Each structure stands twice: as C-alpha cells, then as structure tokens.
Amino acid sequence: MEKLIGQTSVPIQGYAMYEIEKIFNRIIQRVNINLRDLAFDVSPFVRDHINLEKMSEFYAFYGITTDIPLNLKFIHSGLAGSYFLGNCRISNSLLYKSDIRGDELKRKGDTFQYKHFSIDLAKDELIDIETSALIKTLVHNYSHDPETPERFFIKDTLALDYSNIHGAPSDGCFLGSFATIDLTTMSDCVIGQYSYIQAGEINHLNVEPGTIWVNSPGQFNFLYQYPIERLKQYIHCSPEKGPTGLLIDFIEARKDAFNTIFDAVNLEDTIKVPENASLDRYAVVLPSTTISENVLVAQRAYLENSYLGRGANAQEHCFIINSRLEGGNVTAHGAKIIEADLDEAVFVGFNSFLFGKPAHRLTIGKGCVIMPHTIIDSEEALSIPQDTLVWGLVTNQQELQENSISLENLKKIETHTNQGNMFFEGSGSTFVQAFKDRIQHILEVNGAFFHEHNV
Amino acid sequence: MKNFTVKKLLLPISEYATVSLGTTLFDAILALEQAQEKFYHGKYQHLAILVLDDEKKVVGRISQHRILKAIEAGEELSKDLSKLKMFNFSDAYIENIRETLRLDTKVFTQQALKKAAGKKVEEFMQKPTPDEYVAESSPLDIAVHKLVSGNHLSLLVKRDEEIIGVLRIADVFVAACHGMKALNIGEK
C-alpha cells in the first residue's frame, strides 16, 4: 500500500503569482518555438482556459512504497492536485491534477530489450518534466526510446485535459484534450484532441483531431480518422470555450465524488475487497459494486453499480458504471464503460467511450479488442460477437459492421485492406498477435494471474 | 518554315474563351461553347478556357481533361488519400486504394454531375507553370520543343510581361504538315 505525503496548499499572491505567470508564459513560448514549422500557436487553446489561480487550491501527493525508489525533486514549479510516484524531477513546470506514475520505470541493473539491442541500465530511470504544462494528464510506463533508456523526458510540452503520455518521451509538443501518445518518442508535434498515436517515433507532425494511428514499421500500419463534425459532440476544443463535449460533461458530472476522497484523510471502507485484489485508496467505488479476486482498481478510477470478475482491471481515469465485466478484462487508462456487459478477456483501449443505454445495453463477446479511442454510443441494442476488433465511431448496427472485423478475418490479411475510414497495411496476424501479447502483459503486471503464478 | 515565329500562329486572347475567377464549371462550359460558335479560323475548335483574375491577367487554364477530372469525384478522393503518405503508408498501397475508389465511383449520375457543375473554376484549373510560356518573337522550333517536352496542348504567348494570346498544338501541327507537304517528298 502506498503512503502519501502532501505539499501544503497556500494562496497564491503577489510575487508568487508573478512567478507562476512567468513560468506559464515561458512554457507557451517554448512550445510555440518548437511548433513554428507547423505554424501552430498554442496560446489560444490555453490562455483563457487554464486558470492559474487554481494552482494554489489543491495539495500535491507523493506515494511512498517499499519497492519503488523514493525521489521527488521539484524546482520552480507548481504541482496543484497532482500525484507522483517513484523517481520524478519537475522543473520550471506547471502540473495541474496530473498523475505522474513512476511505478513501471526501469531500474538500475535492468536490461531493456530494443530490437536486437540488449541495453543495460546504469541507473534508475527518471521521469524528467521540464518547462512543460500538464493539465489533468496521466504520465505512465517507461521510456521506450533506446536513446534515452534512463530518462523519460517531457520537455517544452503542453498537454490538455485527460491526455495520456504513456511511455512516450516528448519534446516540443502539444496534446489536445483526451489525446494519447503511447510508446512513441515525439518531437515538435501537434496531437489533436482524441487522437491516439502509437508509432515508435514521430517528428514535425500535425495530427488532426480524432486520428487513431498504430504503426509498427515493416509489420503493420492501422489508421482511422473520425468524421470531424461528428466527433465535436463528444470532444471539441475551441479557443473561446476550451474543451467541451459529452466526454467533458460526463467527467464533470462525477468530479464531486473524487473531491470527496481527495479531501478526506481517512476514508471508511465502502466495499469488501478480496485479499488478493487491489483497490486504490483514491478510486471511487459506489454501491453496489463487486470486486473479485485478482482485480486491480487504480487511483482515479470510478466504479458504480458494477461487477468486476476475477483478474479484471480498471486503470486510471476509467469509469465503469452499471456494467458487468466477467473477468480477465483490461479497461485501459481513461476508458469508460456504461450500461454494458462484457464477457471474459475483453480489452477496452485508452479513452474509449462505451455508452450503452438502460433500454438497450451494449454486449461485448469474449476476447474482443476495442481499439483505443473507440466511441460506441448506441442508439439501439448492440451485440458484438466474440473475438472481434472494433474501432472508431459506432452508433448502430450498420456502423458496427463498417467499423469492425473478426480477429479471424483480420489474421488472414497479408498485404492490406480498407474499410470505411479505416486503412490497414501489413500483416493482420502480426497486428492481432501484438495486441494479444500486450493485453497478456498488462494482465500479468496487474496481478490478474496472481494465484496461478504463486501456487 | 524555319523563319516562322510564334507570332505567326498565335490566337489573340480576345478570340479565346475566357472566364473570371469564381465562375462555375457549368458557366465555363457555356463560355467555351460560345467561343467555339464564334470561332471560324481553321477546322480545329477551341478545347480550353483561360481563367482571368480581376486585373484580366491569365491565372489558370481549363482543358477538357481538367473538366472531366473535376466531374470525376475520384479526384477529391485522391486528395483525401494523399494524407496517408504522412502516416507512413506505402505508395503502392495508396495507389491501389485510389484506383479502387475511382472504379467504384459513379460519374454519370444526376447527383455527381450537379455537384460538379457548381464547382468554381479555381478548384480545378491548372495554374500555368514556367515552361508553358513562350515569347511571341520566339522561333516556332522553341515552341515545338516546349509543347513536346512539357506534354502541353497549348502555350501562353507573352509580349514582355503581358499574355497576349495562345499557341495551340493543333495550329503548330498544321504548320508542320504544311511544311512537309511543301517539300514535295512524294514526287519522283
């Protein structure tokens, strides 16, 4: 169990506010300098949207465990409401209600395998955030860049609400709301809102909102782009209003539940949790929820009236409401599952929004893979057959047909295919195997097979 | 023949079909028809339209090929596909999809024709490239080289910086034919 120490909250006045504004302006300038080739100005997206006064309203937290190195350095920075774990250094930055989770960082003596290179680590890996502003952002995993195996850097970067920087060193970038950059080193890039990028390394790209891109060069390449006008009802970023849309409304409607658990020092147990399950102290669990053995519920997860079967996990910022997950399920960072029934071993990717309705629930069969950043906003009862890959925007049966493929058929693809707005080139079987391997890895590290491995 | 200059064969711009920026594809076709009705030099009709800006300078040209490309929706689909390159898709894959989409798209439907008719000329006109200009004083040899090497159907003829006319491939072709016939090659 993690113990926490807090940064004292003090009102920002006079000189302190002057310094914070100075840091903020410097961050904007540095990001803009990096993005000058793309002619992208971040100012309109942040100037009126980020309220610097709030930087004094919340404590910051640092988690202490017996098995993760204890090291937090913060210099000339604001950390309001943010949570840190492990080896972290923050300088000249503003972090607001962000999670900097160093629990998966590499350790001194580890060997990091990158293609045919076996890279020995001379020291513990560090999350190094410099001249960056992260708003409600999750930073997790470890640097997958073989050139910086001991330093997971985030430099001259600005990330907006509910974005994920997952194993992705970043230099000179802007991430819109709900954007995810996963296992990818990026420099001088704009990642539009609700885009998901996993591409190894990217430079000087301006990625449109709602772009889902999974590229493993030489193996496979998957691309889907949301119809931009339809995406706006779910998430839209405008200079006038900041991030708006159903996703923001959905989270805002439930934020009081989090304020309650973050404000209280001692919380009463609201639910019985098996000994070999893990429920984070900063997760919201509302009646009537059942947590089975080997379940992991991370901080800032929200569970309400749901069943989590054996080995299921609910990662940071995910919401599971009025739903049933039979077991061995992965609900990745920021995923939302409402009024849905998921059979065993269903993977729901980052920031997906599975929005079933009481009158017509969503049913997902065993072994399905819901791609990151998928929106299923059902207007009718939808039932997804087992072992199906689903992506993009689905509101009815016709769109489900267009935006899905059975894993069996996908495995047969050897060169390319395209379906609606989805483009795929490469080996389908390699793509499926890569997902399955990653899902298995996530379940293993989250303790889903705890009993089997320890008898 | 060898003393011929471009000036000898050019068609003055006043005899050519011209439209202004902002004209629709349908109105451009009507302008071409009108120009063809008025045209009585030789047996080769006008096949292209010049686009003029507010200062009456030539800023583009529309050939029959350009008009058909505008009518074929595949052209728009191709524009969307070009972004696939940014996402590391191979040229072969992009070309494959482009062709598939083209073949799947119906051209002669009321909806497609109506949509095409409303397009503005600036959306599909060809902007002149530097190799499409020729001086009116240039020898015809230069013009032939430019037509052949650039695969052009006509050249824009300049006097100083002003475009004063068009040199059509058909007229150069006729001149070449006349030149050969004048040699009496077939006579013993």
Describe the crossing of helices B169-181 and B140-150 by its angle, rounded to 10 degrees: 120
Residue A8 phi, psi dihedral angles, 5° rounding: -65, 140
Domain boundary among A203, A219, A250: A250
Residue B49 lies in a domain: yes
Q: Which residues in A lie closer than 8 A to residue B89 (C-beta atoms)?
A: 221, 223, 423, 425
Taking the C-alpha atoms of residue A388 and residue A371, their distance in angstroms, rounded to an integer, is 10
Domain limits at B134? Answer: 6-68+119-181
Q: Are A401 and A388 in contact (CB under 8 A)?
A: no
Is the torsion defined by CA of A273, A277, A281, A286 positive or negative? Answer: negative
Task: Determine the pLDDT at residue A412.
Answer: 97
Residue A232 and residue A326 in one domain: no
Residues of chain A in contact with residue B90, where contact means CB-CB under 8 angstroms, are 425
In a domain, A375, yes or no: yes
* Residue B77, domain member (yes or no): no
For residue B137, whether the previous peptide bond is cis, meaning omega lies within 30 degrees of 0, is: no
Higher pLDDT, A267 or B53: B53
Domain total of chain A: 2
The enclosing domain of A81 has a CATH number of 2.160.10.10
Beta bridge partners of A425: A221, A416
Residue A442 lies in a domain: yes
Chain B residues touching A217 at Cβ < 8 A: 88
Distance CA A190, CA B91 (A): 25
Calpha distance B131→B155 (Å, rounded): 9
The rounded mean pLDDT for chain B is 86
Determine which of B88, B99, B103 to mutate to test the interface with A (most A C-beta atoms within 10 Å): B88
Asked whether the beta carbons of residue B84 and residue A217 sit closer than 8 angstroms, the reply is no
Q: How many domains does chain B have?
A: 1
Q: Pick from A196, A220, A250: which residue ends a domain?
A: A250
Whole-number Å distance between alpha carbons of A218 and B155: 46
State which residues form the domain around A364.
264-415+427-454
| Mean pLDDT for the stretch of residues A364-388 | 97
Query: Using a CB-CB distance cutoff of 8 angstroms, which residues of chain A are in contact with residue B98?
Result: none
Would the CB atoms of A416 and B93 count as touching at under 8 Å? yes
Q: Which stretches of chain B sit within 8 Å of chain A by CB? A: 84, 86-90, 93, 96-97
* pLDDT tens digits for range A323-357: 999 999 999 999 999 999 999 999 999 999 999 99
A325/A63: higher pLDDT: A325
Distance CA A295, CA A329 (A): 9
Query: Does A230 lie in the same domain as A270?
Result: no
With CB atoms and an 8 Å threshold, state whether A425 touches B86: no
CB contacts of B88 in chain A (<8 Å) are 199, 215, 217, 221
**What residues form DSSP beta bridges with A111?**
A120
On whether residue B150 sits in a domain, the answer given is yes
User: Which of B88, B96, B97 is the closest to A221 by Cβ?
Assistant: B88
Residue A12 has pLDDT above 80, yes or no: no
- Do residue A245 and residue A278 come from a single domain? no
- A257 within a domain of the structure (yes/no): no
Residue A89 to residue A71: CA distance in whole angstroms: 8
Q: B153 lies in a domain?
A: yes
CB contact under 8 A, A425 and B96: no
Chain B residues near residue A418 by CB distance under 8 angstroms: 97
Residues A166 and A277 in one domain: no
CB contact under 8 A, A213 and B87: yes
pLDDT tens per residue across span A215-271: 999 999 999 999 999 999 999 988 778 899 999 999 999 989 988 887 777 777 778
Residue linked to tokens 């399955």: A436
Contact A416 B96 (CB under 8 A): yes
ipTM of the complex: 0.88
Could you say which of A250, A284, A310 is where a domain stops? Answer: A250
Tell me what pLDDT residue A7 has: 47
Least CA distance to A202: which residue of chain B?
B87
Question: Which pair of structure tokens corresponds to residue A217?
Answer: 């060069």
User: Across the interface, do B88 and A199 touch by the CB < 8 Å criterion?
Assistant: yes
Q: Which of A140-144, A212-216, B22-26, B168-172 has the lowest mean pLDDT?
A: B168-172
